[in-house]
Amino acid sequence: MEQIVSSGIIDSYFEKLKSNLSVDVAIVGGGPSGIVAAYFLAKAGKKVALFDRKLAPGGGMWGGAMMFNDIVVQEEAMPIIKELGVSYKEGANGTYIMDSVHTTSALIYQATKAGATIFNCYSVEDVVFHNDAVAGVVVNWAPVIREGMHVDPLTIMAKAVLEGTGHDCEIARVVARKNDIQLNTPTGGVIGERSLNVELGEQTTVENTKEIYPGLFVSGMAANGVSGSFRMGPIFGGMLMSGKKAAELICEKLGN
């Protein structure tokens, strides 16, 4: 029985990995914007693989605010919440309150049910750069990167890459630094996020969701960080709408 268990896991996992060595979209970071993008891309029939370094994808949504595991979503994002089947209750001034654990679980469930594949415990350390465009991602085990071990990575080829790494904008920084290129931002580089402003942060998260270099899109806090806008705290409507917009932009580029 022990061998049957191990063999089943190994055979299934490597079949999954091999089938995702070439995808339509590779998503870096499993926060709310990345997971929502994965859901809508998979729903549109795209082959999607999402890579997250944590054991449990979901980004900062799990912890709510200061480990009070409730989050806020505003009216504009509620169609996404309702489509994903998330339970909620009304708050004040057009806001809604949701249990963060329930909500994060629902997002992950719906994205994978729609057909997206999520790889946890992966770090994306670089991109594939072909013909002056981003053409895939370079992946390694997250513990390998954390421990600084000299272990070569593998590559995942993709027609589009979506960065949803959050505040640090890791992929955009790597692309700009290594390839001496100008990004589609006011300065041509990664500007970095500003301090907290809920209303402007929510608004600009969606506005800054875009293709910042051929083949490379940004969503969520990475979108605001790249373009120098505000963080917004434990309100997540902008993140959800950013993920949906990213999926729509990528579908438009790849063709519906």
The pLDDT tens digits of the residues spanning 58-116 come to 999 999 999 999 999 999 999 999 999 999 999 999 999 999 999 999 999 999 999 99
The pLDDT tens digits of the residues spanning 18-52 come to 999 999 999 999 999 999 999 999 999 999 999 99
Q: Is the pLDDT of residue 256 over 80?
A: no
User: Which pLDDT does position 99 carry in this prediction?
Assistant: 98
Which CA distances in Å does 162 have to 5, 23, 37, 131, 246? 35, 12, 9, 18, 8
Distance CA 21, CA 36 (A): 22
User: Which pLDDT does position 148 carry in this prediction?
Assistant: 95
Six-digit token string for 115: 């057909």
User: Across all residues in the chain, what is the average pLDDT?
Assistant: 97
What percent of the chain clears pLDDT 90, i.e. is strictly above it? 99
Stretch 161-175: mean pLDDT, rounded? Answer: 96
Q: Domain locations in the chain? A: 1-63+100-255
Distance of CA 254 to the CA centre of its chain: 18
Which CA distances in Å does 148 have to 43, 65, 143? 37, 32, 8
Q: Please, which pLDDT band fits residue 177 given cuts at 50, 70 and 90?
A: very high
Binding residues for glycine are 231
Binding residues for Fe cation are 152, 167
Binding residues are 33, 60, 124, 150-152, 167, 221, 231
Contact 236, 61 (CB under 8 A): yes
Q: Is the pLDDT of residue 142 over 80?
A: yes
Contact 161, 213 (CB under 8 A): no
Instruction: Show the DSSP H helices in 44-99 as ranges.
Output: 78-83
Question: What CATH number does the domain located at 1-63+100-255 have?
Answer: 3.50.50.60
Binding residues for NAD(+) are 33, 60, 124, 150-152, 221
